[in-house]
Structures are given as structure tokens and as C-alpha cells.
Amino acid sequence: MRQRYGIWAAAILVLVGSLGKGLAQAENGPRDGVRLPVLGPDRETIDLLRTRPEEVERRMRERESPDPGLTALSPLPVPDELSAEEPAPEAAAEVVDVDRIRVSASAPGEGVVQGEVALTNTADQSHRLVRVFTEAAEEALLHTVERRGGVAQVQRLGGLLLPPEEQVELRPGGPRLLLVDLRRPLSQGEAITLELYFDDGSRKRVEAPVQQPVPGR
């Protein structure tokens, strides 16, 4: 009988000791270095006090690995104001203004006359006049005149640069326009058509009045 009482007393002491140790841990918080709760791959709580370290590590790796059943998210659409490309530049023929255009009347038997025109590039980028065409002559020649050793020499231009927001004139003293090999006489008071071709492929058609040449030009 005494032996049975002794066994019960020992069991009660162990139980009381365990409860006391549990209460002490509850009051003092988890063990140092332990962060609770820790969740596994299925979001279940892992008991770090009863789970072997290698098992905890394995379950944590499973949690961090991507789920093969998930598909990659499609990129969000970019707003129009961000994805829109820069607007294409306007055609040269639309932004180059033509002023003070004229062609000299021809004298009897004369096959070459001079043309004058002021070209204003209103755009914020450069353009280039590359060719002039008219049915009144075999050729409309863009050129400059240089004097070398007292002799005037004509230098053909492959194009006329039109800087942004500037005006360039084709006239004596600078780059010139000549109508070469007239197909017919040009009389004062009439007008001929000139077509201006630019380096971007655009072209502009203008009417040039025929006037008497200015003396000294």
C-alpha cells in the first residue's frame, strides 16, 4: 500500500513540475532563437520544439519552391501615353514656306534665265531642297558662282540645306537657281510652274511669275 502511495506521489510531483516549467516558458516567451509560428508549404504551423531540424529545413524548402501549377503573370499593359511612339516629323513640303518667288523674262534668242525664291523652314529640324523641276526648261540648276583668277565658275549643288526656323534665299550673291535650255520664250506677265523636291521624298508645287530681270543681277 505504501508503495502505491509512493508511486502516485512521484507522479503528482512530475506533473506539477512539468506544469510549472510550461508556465515559466509561457511567461518568459519562446526559447532564444525560435520564431513562432513558422508555417510549412501548406500554411500549417510547424512545431519547432518537437520537429527534427532536418525535417523543418525540408518543409521550409518546399514552401519556398514555386508551385508548378502556377502560371506566370502577363505583363501589365503600358498606358498609351507611355507606349506611344514619338510623332513622325512633318513632311518638308508642309513646313517650308515659299516667298518672293520670280523668274526672269527671256530676251530674244536667250536660253538661260535666273530664278529667285526665299525658302523658310518653319520646323524645328533641318530639311534639304534637292531638286527643282519645270516643264519650261530642260533643267533647273541649283548652283553657286565662284570667281577664280577673275573667271566666274559655276559649281553645281547637290542640295540646299534649310536650317530649322531660318530663311534661305536663292538669288545673286548666294546660292542660285538657273533655268537652262528654255523650251520656249518666257514673257513678262505669265507664270510657270516649279516643283520643289525635298530629301524626305515630299514635293511642293508653286507658281512663279515671270518678270523683267532686275538691272545689275
Q: Which residue ranges form the domains of the chain, and what is each CATH number?
A: 32-65 (no CATH), 92-211 (2.60.40.1890)
Q: Is 48 exposed, middle or buried (0-12, 13-18, 19+ CB in 10 A)?
A: middle
Q: Is 144 exposed, middle or buried (0-12, 13-18, 19+ CB in 10 A)?
A: middle
- The pLDDT value recorded for residue 14 is 44
Reported as a single tens digit per residue, the pLDDT across 115-132 is 999 999 999 999 999 999
Reported as a single tens digit per residue, the pLDDT across 1-25 is 554 445 444 445 444 454 445 444 4
* AA letter at 173: G
Which cell goes with 160? Answer: 540646299
- The pLDDT value recorded for residue 75 is 59
DSSP-derived secondary structure for 135-197: TTEEEEEEEEEEEETTEEEEEE-S-EEE-TTEEEEESTTSSEEEEEEESS---TT-EEEEEEE
Is 179 within 8 Å of 185 (Cβ atoms)? no
- The pLDDT value recorded for residue 193 is 97
Q: What angle do CA 65, 69, 70 make, to 5 degrees?
A: 80
d(C-alpha 195, C-alpha 207), whole Å: 9
- The pLDDT value recorded for residue 123 is 95
Give residue 7's Cα distance to chain centre: 89
- The pLDDT value recorded for residue 122 is 96
Half-sphere exposure of 63 (CA within 13 A, CB side): 15
Q: Quick check: helix, strand or coil at residue 203?
A: strand
Reported as a single tens digit per residue, the pLDDT across 203-217 is 999 999 999 987 666
- The pLDDT value recorded for residue 173 is 85
Q: How high is the mean pLDDT in each 10-residue block of the chain (217 residues)?
A: 49 48 48 53 66 74 60 56 62 96 94 95 96 96 86 87 96 92 96 97 96 75
Total-model pTM? 0.58
Instruction: Spell out the residues 6+ positions from residue 62 whose beta carbon is closer than 8 angstroms to its own.
Output: 40, 41
Q: Residue written as cell 511567461?
A: 27
